[in-house]
């Protein structure tokens, strides 16, 4: 699949933000919280708390896929506009890779072609008003690793999802970030790494991010 058609429409320049992206369960929110605490970045959380559609989506993806993706797209556009006005922002996922889910849901037949085309039209209209982040941090994680973390996290609506969904999501993420070239990117494999509870792992991940940011300055 080609994601590159949707990656080159940003404004010139860079916004002062670090974006963390990864499959579900990889630790995006945890890493953002660590960057806030350890490096003083300003957080912008992914809109999963108080989301009126997320749990419904996992029980009936075909019914709620389009409305959920529009909800996320709108919230992420709002967040990225707010984040563009502050220094050293940290975003837990963002509008840049938002189309990963929409593309997968369309290919799965869970979003109609008409809905997907409307989604892409909105996405492209929004992304033209955005600049690339100063750094994209992509946390690579195996399907087994993601499922283990999802089970440990214990969100009820995630527990009912079949393994095939997580396998496809991992595949789409891998292909998207193989094509991503809108900004500098740092890929960190987090299989077997517990940066939430293990200080050595946490310092290792922070050192990689620090070194990449220093290289870009």
Handedness of CA 147, 65, 70, 11 (dihedral sign): positive
Helix (H, G, I), strand (E, B) or coil at 108: coil
Residue 92 falls in the annotated catalytic set: yes
CA neighbours closer than 13 Å in the CB half-sphere of residue 68: 22
Q: Annotate 141-162 with DSSP letters as a single string.
A: --HHHHHHHHHHHT-HHHHTS-
150 is in an annotated binding site: yes
152 is in an annotated binding site: yes
172 is in an annotated binding site: no
Q: How far apart are CA 5 and CA 7, in angstroms?
A: 6
179 is in an annotated binding site: no
194 is in an annotated binding site: no
58 is in an annotated binding site: yes
Q: How far apart are CA 62 and CA 111, in angstroms?
A: 6
Catalytic residue among 21, 50, 92, 201: 92
202 is in an annotated binding site: no
148 is in an annotated binding site: no
What is the 8-class DSSP label of residue 51? Answer: -
Q: How far apart are CA 42 and CA 130, in angstroms?
A: 18
Backbone angles phi, psi at 162, to 5 degrees: -70, 155
156 is in an annotated binding site: no
34 is in an annotated binding site: no
Residues marked active site are found at 92
As annotated, the binding site includes: 46, 58, 69, 93, 98, 149-153, 158
As annotated, the binding site for ATP includes: 149-153
């Amino acid at each position: 699949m080609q994601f590159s058609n949707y990656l080159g429409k940003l404004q010139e320049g860079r916004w002062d933000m670090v974006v963390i992206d990864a499959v579900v369960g990889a630790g995006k929110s945890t890493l953002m919280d660590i960057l806030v605490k350890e490096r003083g970045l300003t957080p912008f959380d992914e809109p999963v708390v108080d989301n009126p559609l997320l749990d419904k989506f996992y029980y009936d993806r075909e019914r709620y896929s389009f409305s959920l993706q529009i909800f996320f797209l709108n919230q992420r556009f709002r967040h990225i506009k707010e984040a563009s006005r502050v220094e050293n922002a940290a975003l837990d996922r963002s509008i840049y890779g938002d189309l990963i889910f929409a593309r997968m849901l369309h290919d799965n037949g869970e979003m109609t072609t008409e809905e997907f085309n409307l989604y892409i039209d909105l996405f492209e209209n929004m992304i033209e008003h955005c600049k690339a982040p100063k750094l994209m941090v992509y946390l690579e994680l195996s399907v087994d690793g993601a499922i283990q973390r999802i089970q440990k996290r214990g969100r009820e609506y995630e527990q009912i999802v079949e393994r095939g969904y997580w396998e496809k999501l991992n595949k789409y993420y891998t292909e998207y970030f193989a094509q991503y070239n809108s900004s500098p990117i740092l890929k960190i494999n987090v299989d077997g790494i517990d940066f939430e509870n293990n200080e050595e792992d946490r310092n290792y991940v922070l050192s990689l991010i620090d070194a990449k940011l220093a290289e870009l300055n």
